[in-house]
Amino acid sequence: MTVDGRRWLELRVRCPSAGDRSDLLADGLLAFGARGVEERGGWYVSYFDEPDDVGDFLARAAASIEKETGLSPIRVEHGWQTHEAWEDTWKRGLGPRRVTERVVVHPSWAPPKEVRAGDVVIRLDPGMAFGTAEHGTTRGCLRLLDGLVRSGDRLLDVGAGSGILSIAAAHLGADAVTAIEGDGYACEAMVENVDANGVERVVSVVETWATAASLSAMGPVDGIIANIEAGLLAPLHEGFRRALVPGGWLILSGILDREWADSRQRAESHGFSFEALDEDGDWRSGLFRRSG
């Protein structure tokens, strides 16, 4: 995807006093809205849309990361990259990955060398959208989805990002998937990924920020995938419950280990029963069922 004139703010953060807790900086960036984070020589690097006020953006980033991680002081630097230069950066290190026994994810420039009978192969170029098989939350959702999706299922994918989970659900047999994403750039990448995987008749991309009310109106559905930050999940639970058929399933992800107990309790207080937990590094993805 080439967009003339677009450039991205490269945000670099570090905390010299963090020691072996420096990986929390990645969590802080993700909580601030980063779609992905790269560790580079002690700095944690991510990319953002060009802000109107760079100084204000950097100050808010530092304050947000300090609050999220408890680390201080946060050192912040920034630079700029054209869209084309950024594309070259994120392509480095991305290759095919077998996430489950049958789910394989690969970028367009690196097809898998081995494809087995029955494999579900997903071609994915994320662009500026969050969602690759390189992130623990995405892998957790894919592992939970494999074996869960049934032929004919109608699903919602909340915070769909690159569309990877919607595409996987379509390949696993879902009849209809509504992929909900509020970021316009992510939607551009998602439409391209959906078309490249031949699932455009199954996956519908809806550009909007999800609310409890809007989710309720999109039901009834058999299952919901919600891979977004724990803080954003919290106000959506009533919408999840109303959108799901009785016995329908809910995957909650984007949850850090330290957030998991509260996240599980919140889901259970809204009428969901816990079924399974996927652990990937510091990230947690949980499977729940609507009770009654």
- pLDDT tens readout for residues 50-94: 899 999 999 999 999 999 899 999 999 999 877 665 556 656 556
Q: Which CATH number fits domain 128-290: 3.40.50.150, 3.40.50.300, 3.40.50.970, 3.30.70.660?
A: 3.40.50.150
pLDDT for res 1? 36
pLDDT for res 56? 94
Q: Any idea which of 45-54, 55-64, 200-209, 265-274 has the lowest mean pLDDT?
A: 45-54
Q: In 71-119, where do the E strands start and end?
A: 75-82, 97-98, 103-106
Ordered alpha helix ranges (H), the chain: 24-32, 54-69, 83-91, 136-145, 164-171, 184-196, 212-217, 230-233, 237-243, 257-269
Mean pLDDT of the chain: 89
Contact residues for 68 (Cβ-Cβ < 8 A; gap 6+): 24, 27, 28, 31, 32
Which of the 8 DSSP states describes residue 153? -
Closest to 194 in 3D by CA, of 178, 215, 182, 210: 178
Q: Any idea which of 82-91, 184-193, 204-213 has the lowest mean pLDDT?
A: 82-91
Which comes out higher in pLDDT, residue 132 or 22?
Answer: 22
pLDDT at 157 over 90: yes
Which comes out higher in pLDDT, residue 280 or 180?
Answer: 180
pLDDT at 3 over 50: no
- The predicted model gives 150-176 an average pLDDT of 96
For strands 244-256 and 221-227, give the pairing.
Answer: parallel
From residue 12, alpha-carbon distances to 41, 74, 156 in Å are 11, 10, 34
pLDDT-above-70 percentage for the chain: 90
From residue 56, alpha-carbon distances to 32, 59, 60 in Å are 14, 5, 6
pLDDT for res 272? 98
Residues pairing with 280 in the sheet: 283
Fold entry, domain 7-90: Alpha-Beta Plaits (3.30.70)
Distance CA 12, CA 3 (A): 24
**Domain ranges within the chain, ordered by starting residue:** 7-90, 128-290
Which comes out higher in pLDDT, residue 3 or 184?
Answer: 184
Closest to 94 in 3D by CA, of 7, 164, 24: 164
At 2, the pLDDT band (50, 70, 90 cuts) reads very low
- The predicted model gives 97-117 an average pLDDT of 88
Which of the 8 DSSP states describes residue 128? T
Distance CA 174, CA 221 (A): 11
